[in-house]
């Protein structure tokens, strides 16, 4: 029934966009056509291999430029590194409000082809799912952004704010081609009040959307190294200052250190709302998350939530030695440290050194030249956040909106550092589908891509269309 209403409204809109835009309460999208077109964009994008490194993102930028040109929109390539262009385009508003930016990244993480059951760059559609590297991260976002942007143009929606389309290079491997450089060089082309980006997580359970996650903040990745030194010598003679032994003890202490837990505005709201849709035992945890007994439960059973409450320290790489009978003079471990947005990292590393408490082991900060930058969380209950929540109620009335703090990182940090209220959203996925992101057989459901496009279009028009 709904489908017929959309179709009629869309025909009406096609025949007379002006009437649609001005007389109707809200611009109306032909959901079915928009889904089919977004799915076609996604398939085209997957077929352009942008494994990073080396990325070669300019080919995606050129594809997008062509599609936009066909719709009468001039787009500009921002090529900070040869062959690795980002792309930006703009629909003008009347200037009464500051711009809204829609962004998604062009590059994807590499694949291990031997572990895929389909060609990762063929965009195979099977049982209503599109398979391919980037199907979720992040070409679905790029395809949806493109679809929403084109619909605003075609339906001639009168805009109060400029709507900017951006697809950026090198998000997956921080490099000079990425968002840091783009923001530094081209801020005048991106300056905005609100942004929508990846970084949300929406869950499908038993065929229904359980929640739509809106990312308002994320942890800051800041690796560190543990460098142990000792005297070198023959493997037949044990030495008390053996660097390998000292490193092993330090890794053990760092990896089991229960770092302090605390809540912020986003995580407080997250756990409160999560309690309302969780089974009784879990709901009781979420209402009392800082309780040390609850922390123990979360550490084992919900490590994702455990991580959301603290700066986390995870040893991930070890290296030492050249031969079994040689005691090496040094040994090194890499720690993946993910900091809460308000963490003082220099102080944190000092505390970690105190926990390790070994003069033979140094804690050294890793180079973060092109990595994400410290940024304040985006606020809850802004015009944009409220519009996303209302859009969620439209497309998935049975669900709730959950504000999220991501334990991973996105390019939103570069915008938040400029005062932009940036929100992470994403195509709803089952837990199984979510596990394929950066994994094998990455895939999303075409129907959910369609729902996501309607969701995004609704939220975008609510904040950007002239009232
Ligand atoms: Zn991504």
Q: Where are the domains of the chain?
A: 2-218+374-464, 223-258+311-367, 261-309
Instruction: Tell me which residue has tokens 């660097």.
Output: 243
Burial per residue of 226-254, b for 16 or more beta-carbon CB atoms within 10 angstroms, e otherwise: bbbbbeeeeeeeeeeebbbbbbbbbbebb
Q: Are 352 and 254 in contact (CB under 8 A)?
A: yes
User: Could you give the CA distance from residue 265 to residue 460 in angstroms, rounded to a whole number?
Assistant: 24
CA of 439 to the centre of ligand 1 (A): 13
The predicted pLDDT at position 26 comes to: 79
Q: Is 293 exposed, middle or buried (0-12, 13-18, 19+ CB in 10 A)?
A: exposed
CA of 437 to the centre of ligand 1 (A): 9
CA of 40 to the centre of ligand 1 (A): 20
CATH class of 223-258+311-367: alpha beta
CA of 221 to the centre of ligand 1 (A): 14
The predicted pLDDT at position 6 comes to: 43
The predicted pLDDT at position 25 comes to: 66
Dihedral of alpha carbons 300, 305, 310, 313, sign: positive
| Bond preceding residue 138 cis, omega within 30 of 0 | yes
The predicted pLDDT at position 4 comes to: 39
CA of 411 to the centre of ligand 1 (A): 9
User: Could you give the CA distance from residue 169 to residue 77 in angstroms, rounded to a whole number?
Assistant: 11
Which residues of the chain have a pLDDT value below 70? 1-25
CA of 192 to the centre of ligand 1 (A): 21
CA of 293 to the centre of ligand 1 (A): 34
The predicted pLDDT at position 17 comes to: 43
**Helix ranges, 257-344 (H):** 265-275, 280-286, 292-301, 303-308
CATH 3.50.50.60 corresponds to the domain 2-218+374-464: no
CA of 370 to the centre of ligand 1 (A): 16
Quickly list DSSP for 18-60: HHHHHHSSS----HHHHHHHHHHHHHHHHHS--BTTT--THHH
CA of 161 to the centre of ligand 1 (A): 26
CA of 138 to the centre of ligand 1 (A): 5
Among residues 380, 374, 371, the alpha carbon closest in space to that of 421 is found at: 380
CA of 448 to the centre of ligand 1 (A): 18
The predicted pLDDT at position 153 comes to: 98
Query: Distance between the two ends of the chain, CA-based, in angstroms?
Result: 28
Rounding to the nearest 10 degrees, give the CA dihedral for residues 112, 447, 145, 304. Answer: -60
């Amino acid at each position: 029934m709904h489908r017929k209403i959309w179709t009629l409204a869309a025909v009406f809109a096609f025949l007379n966009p002006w009437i649609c835009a001005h007389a109707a309460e809200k611009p109306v999208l032909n959901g079915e056509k928009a889904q089919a077109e977004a799915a076609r964009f996604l398939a085209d994008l997957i077929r352009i291999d942008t494994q990073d490194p080396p990325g070669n993102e300019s080919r995606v930028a050129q594809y997008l430029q062509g599609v936009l040109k066909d719709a009468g929109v001039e787009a500009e390539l921002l090529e900070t590194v040869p062959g690795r262009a980002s792309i930006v385009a703009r629909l003008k508003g009347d200037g009464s409000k500051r711009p809204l930016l829609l962004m998604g990244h062009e590059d994807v993480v590499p694949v291990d082809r031997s572990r895929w059951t389909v060609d990762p760059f063929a965009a195979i559609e099977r049982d209503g799912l599109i398979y391919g590297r980037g199907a979720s991260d992040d070409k679905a976002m790029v395809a949806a952004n493109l679809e929403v942007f084109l619909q605003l143009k075609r339906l001639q929606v009168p805009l109060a704010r400029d709507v900017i389309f951006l697809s950026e290079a090198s998000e997956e491997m921080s490099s000079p081609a990425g968002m840091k450089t783009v923001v530094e060089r081209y801020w005048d082309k991106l300056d905005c009040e609100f942004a929508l980006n990846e970084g949300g997580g929406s869950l499908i359970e038993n065929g229904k959307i359980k929640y739509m996650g809106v990312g308002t903040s994320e942890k800051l990745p800041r690796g560190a190294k543990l460098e142990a030194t000792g005297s070198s010598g023959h493997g037949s003679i044990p030495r008390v200052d053996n660097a390998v032994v000292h490193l092993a003890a330090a890794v053990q202490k760092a990896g089991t250190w229960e770092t302090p837990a605390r809540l912020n505005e986003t995580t407080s709201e997250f756990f409160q709302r999560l309690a309302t849709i969780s089974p009784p035992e879990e709901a009781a945890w979420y209402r009392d998350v800082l309780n040390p007994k609850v922390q123990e439960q979360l550490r084992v059973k919900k490590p994702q939530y455990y991580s959301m409450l603290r700066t986390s320290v995870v040893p991930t790489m070890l290296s030492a030695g050249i031969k079994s009978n040689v005691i090496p003079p040094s040994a090194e471990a890499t720690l993946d440290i993910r900091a809460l947005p308000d963490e003082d990292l220099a102080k944190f590393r000092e505390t970690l050194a105190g926990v390790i408490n070994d003069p033979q082991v140094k804690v050294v900060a890793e180079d973060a030249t092109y990595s994400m930058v410290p940024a304040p969380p985006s606020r809850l209950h802004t015009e944009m956040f409220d519009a996303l929540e209302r859009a969620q109620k439209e497309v998935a009335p049975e669900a709730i909106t959950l504000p999220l703090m991501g334990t991973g990182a996105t390019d939103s940090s570069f915008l938040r550092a400029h005062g932009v209220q940036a929100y992470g959203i994403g195509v709803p996925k089952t837990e199984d589908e979510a596990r394929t992101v950066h994994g094998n057989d990455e895939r999303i459901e075409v129907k959910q891509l369609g729902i996501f496009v309607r969701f995004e279009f609704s939220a975008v028009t609510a904040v950007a269309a002239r009232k």
